[in-house]
């Protein structure tokens, strides 16, 4: 043991390793010189050594007078001579002196291990900061993607994508997931780290590569098997979606299934790109390459496509894009997109930009010219990703039939254009079609629709991102953000009402065991309309109107077979029932609450009365213009009580006039 009284942290006083005996130094206590215990080779204490020889071990001698509390000279930290351990009267333990040479060797070894560890740990830290993002080869990138898919590892899937693409997808995907959960379309078990209900297993993957360009490689899957298994109990169908399906005659019972597909037959080709020092699978390059091959075009000169041109501010990025759009400058539009996210488009653009230029030149030669005179942009958020919203704009230009201008001052849109230019607004209350204000929209639509529009306009806009110090408009983020904003503007009640709407639209449609199936005896005018879920059934659309008219004819018995068109029963699996057979007697419009004025000036009570008297268009008007969930709405939706409340569109279900 060495001295610690000199302070500092030069040595640890509690080190368990005894120091080798040293030469006595003045003022420094020394190791006990006489060995304690039996001499080497002898077992047990030497004869006569039992018991405490005076002053040989145990506690130190009592302090001299006047020195109480202070250690005897030379005794601090070191046992008195011959007093190493043990209790009074106990035999002394055998003394085993550690060979000093071994101790030194051990310490040197420990130091060497420490130094090697420092170097290794330093290298680890450096490589952690400078390590490549991505896989070591294109094949490894594709394998990583399939491994992540097989592990249901959404984080791994995103990681295997090109950095710009995963950055554009990750946050909106999380938001969409949250919104779908809030709306009850999927259940709470779904997360980026857990997608329940489906199990995928990819095995024996064999790949073939083809270099398309520098850092761009097509990877074709030439062999392997994918086994997909559905675990019915885990499929994350949300409450609202379940209700929606059941209300429409379906059933959310998912069969357990296992399917194995040979990937060699699937002809899957993915494109891997080198980015961030490693290889990643690129969704956009894959799509672009598929399109190129479908078009039979030559390979582009990768890295020499449209040169990205960012802006100095988020507002300028939006303005640059709008200027390019107004000028129909395709190259300018593509250049205004972020190079990390849209690199594929910028690389492949030369393949189609010249062909498009001819069409654009033709359009311009027809006399069209558009100018953005003013664009007010405000941004929300902070950091390198912002939401840019248009607050005002003024666009002017020339059409073949004369000049036009369109302006938005934040409240009203004003249009001045020749009728033949095809730029017009719906007729507003203020008369004419040259101005449409927010208030007109609010009056013309139900409160739910105007709420939806208000919420959507508050959160929708252009997402601008900063890449390498310049600002660009991100199309993928913008699209997904608009979708997220639309979901955010909805609530569960809206979904349920939509369910009612769909239910009413399909209330005459036969549903077979396999789900929504063949349309029974719908008029031919309705084929491709009512069975098209993307059709918004715009009543101004002549085809939709023709369909409605044909439905009316059938509903009024005008069809060839009045007993085989519309089913009013909620049991949509039944096939045909006479249209009039299930109509109930109408209920008088009493006690519906406080009346209000419809957009055409009629009072709600008058419209309800007309509905009661058999004018089905009045029922529809009442349904469409009443507040959600109100008594008036339900009265209109039920055709004055003649049909269930989820009928909604009485002109479709019954016809223009209800039979007496």
Partner 1 sequence: MRDAPAFDRSGGPLPSPDVSAVPVRFARKWAHWFTVVACLAVFACAFLPWATSGRASRSSYALARSAERLDLINAAWQRGLVVGWYFMPLAVAALWLAAVARRPFAVAALGTGVGALAVIGALAVRSTRLQPEFGTSATIVAGGLAVVGAVATAWNQKEIR
**Residues of this chain that bind partner 1 (CB under 8 A):** 4, 7, 9-16, 50-52, 54-55, 58-59, 61-62, 87-91, 107, 110-111, 113-115, 117-118, 120-122, 124-125, 128-129, 131, 133, 147-148, 151-156, 158-159, 163, 166-167, 170, 191-195, 383
Choice between 167 and 315, CB closer to partner 1? 167
70-to-60, 73, 83, 115, 248 alpha-carbon distances in Å: 12, 9, 19, 42, 94
Choice between 158 and 421, CB closer to partner 1? 158
Antiparallel, parallel or unpaired: β 470-473 and 462-467: antiparallel
CB 319 within 8 A of CB 146: no
Backbone torsions φ then ψ of 259, nearest 5 degrees: -130, 135
Choice between 340 and 488, CB closer to partner 1? 340
Choice between 98 and 118, CB closer to partner 1? 118
Q: Is 379 helix (H, G, I), strand (E, B) or coil?
A: strand
Strand partners of residue 389: 378
Choice between 58 and 557, CB closer to partner 1? 58
Residue 431 DSSP label:
S
Choice between 2 and 562, CB closer to partner 1? 2
Q: How far is the CB of 558 from partner 1 (least distance, A)?
A: 58
Q: How far is the CB of 126 from partner 1 (least distance, A)?
A: 9
Q: How far is the CB of 223 from partner 1 (least distance, A)?
A: 23
Both tokens of residue 11? 């040595």
Q: How far is the CB of 98 from partner 1 (least distance, A)?
A: 16
Q: Is 473 helix (H, G, I), strand (E, B) or coil?
A: strand
Choice between 51 and 558, CB closer to partner 1? 51
Element (DSSP H or E) covering residue 138 = helix 138-150
Q: How far is the CB of 143 from partner 1 (least distance, A)?
A: 14
CB 76 within 8 A of CB 105: no
263-to-3, 201, 231, 284 alpha-carbon distances in Å: 75, 12, 22, 21
CB 112 within 8 A of CB 104: no
Round to whole Å and give the CA distance between 478 and 217. 29
Q: How far is the CB of 216 from partner 1 (least distance, A)?
A: 21
657, burial (CB in 10 Å: exposed 0-12, middle 13-18, buried 19+): middle
Q: How far is the CB of 161 from partner 1 (least distance, A)?
A: 10
Q: How far is the CB of 281 from partner 1 (least distance, A)?
A: 14
Round to whole Å and give the CA distance between 179 and 311. 33
Q: How far is the CB of 293 from partner 1 (least distance, A)?
A: 30
Q: How far is the CB of 513 from partner 1 (least distance, A)?
A: 34
Choice between 117 and 361, CB closer to partner 1? 117
CB-side neighbour CA atoms (13 Å) of 350: 12
Which residues, 6 or more positions from 508, have their beta carbon under 8 angstroms from its beta carbon? Answer: 520, 522, 551, 565, 566, 567, 653
Choice between 155 and 356, CB closer to partner 1? 155
Choice between 35 and 91, CB closer to partner 1? 91
Q: How far is the CB of 77 from partner 1 (least distance, A)?
A: 9
Choice between 107 and 371, CB closer to partner 1? 107
DSSP sequence for 335-370 = HTS-TTTSHHHHHHTHHHHHHHHHHHHHHHHTT-EE
């Amino acid at each position: 043991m060495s001295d610690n009284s000199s302070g500092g942290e030069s040595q640890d006083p509690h080190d368990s390793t005894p120091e080798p005996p040293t030469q006595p130094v003045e003022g420094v206590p020394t190791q006990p010189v006489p060995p304690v215990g039996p001499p080497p080779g002898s077992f047990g204490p030497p004869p006569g050594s039992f018991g405490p020889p005076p002053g040989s071990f145990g506690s130190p001698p009592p302090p001299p007078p006047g020195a109480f509390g202070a250690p005897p000279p030379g005794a601090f930290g070191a046992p008195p001579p011959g007093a190493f351990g043990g209790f009074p009267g106990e035999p002394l333990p055998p003394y085993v002196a550690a060979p000093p040479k071994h101790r030194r060797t051990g310490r040197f070894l420990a130091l060497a291990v420490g130094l090697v560890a420092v170097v290794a740990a330093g290298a680890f830290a450096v490589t952690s900061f400078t390590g490549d993002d991505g896989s070591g080869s294109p094949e490894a990138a594709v394998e990583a993607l399939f491994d992540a898919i097989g592990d249901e590892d959404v984080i791994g899937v995103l990681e295997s994508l090109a950095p710009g693409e995963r950055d554009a997808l990750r946050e909106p995907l999380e938001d969409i997931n949250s919104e779908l959960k809030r709306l009850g379309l999927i259940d709470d078990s779904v997360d980026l780290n857990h997608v329940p209900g489906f199990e995928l297993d990819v095995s024996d993957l064999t790949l073939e590569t083809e270099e398309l360009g520098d850092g761009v490689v097509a990877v074709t899957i030439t062999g392997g098997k994918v086994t997909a298994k559905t675990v019915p109990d885990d499929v994350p169908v949300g409450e609202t979606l379940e209700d929606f399906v059941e209300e429409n005659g379906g059933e959310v019972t998912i069969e357990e299934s296992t399917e194995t597909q040979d990937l060699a037959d699937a002809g899957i080709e993915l494109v891997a790109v080198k980015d961030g020092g490693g290889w990643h699978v690129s969704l956009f390059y894959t799509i672009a390459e598929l399109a190129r091959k479908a078009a039979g075009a030559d390979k582009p000169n990768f890295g020499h496509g449209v040169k990205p041109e960012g802006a100095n501010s988020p507002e300028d990025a939006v303005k640059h894009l709008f200027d390019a759009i107004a000028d129909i400058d395709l190259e300018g539009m593509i250049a205004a997109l972020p190079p990390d996210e849209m690199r594929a488009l910028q690389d492949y653009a030369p393949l189609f930009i010249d062909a498009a230029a001819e069409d654009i030149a033709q359009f311009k030669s027809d006399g069209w010219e558009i100018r953005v005179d003013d664009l007010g942009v405000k941004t929300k958020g902070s950091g390198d990703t912002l939401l840019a919203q248009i607050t005002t704009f003024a666009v002017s230009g020339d059409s073949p039939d004369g000049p036009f201008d369109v302006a938005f001052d934040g409240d009203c849109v004003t249009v001045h254009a020749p009728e033949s230019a095809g730029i017009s607004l719906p007729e507003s209350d203020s008369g004419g079609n040259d101005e449409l204000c927010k208030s007109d929209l609010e009056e013309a639509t139900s409160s739910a629709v105007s709420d939806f529009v208000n919420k959507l306009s508050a959160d929708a806009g252009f997402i601008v991102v900063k890449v390498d110090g310049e600002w660009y408009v991100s199309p993928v983020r913008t699209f997904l953000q608009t979708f997220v904003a639309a979901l955010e503007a909805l609530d569960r009640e809206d979904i349920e009402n939509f369910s009612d709407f769909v239910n009413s639209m399909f209330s005459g449609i036969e549903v077979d065991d396999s789900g929504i199936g063949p349309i029974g005896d719908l008029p031919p005018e309705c084929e491709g309309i009512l069975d098209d879920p993307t059709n918004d059934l715009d009543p101004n659309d002549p085809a939709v109107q023709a369909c409605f008219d044909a439905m009316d004819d059938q509903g009024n018995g005008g069809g060839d077979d009045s007993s085989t068109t519309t089913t009013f029963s909620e049991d949509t699996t039944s096939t045909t029932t006479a249209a009039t057979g299930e109509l109930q007697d109408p209920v008088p419009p009493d006690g519906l609450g406080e009346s209000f004025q419809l957009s055409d000036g009629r009072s709600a009570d008058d419209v309800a009365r007309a509905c009661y008297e058999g004018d089905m268009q009045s029922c529809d008007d009442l349904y469409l213009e009443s507040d959600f969930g109100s008594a008036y709405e339900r009265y209109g939706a039920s055709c004055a009580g003649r049909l269930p409340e989820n009928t909604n569109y009485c002109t479709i279900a019954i016809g223009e006039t209800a039979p007496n």
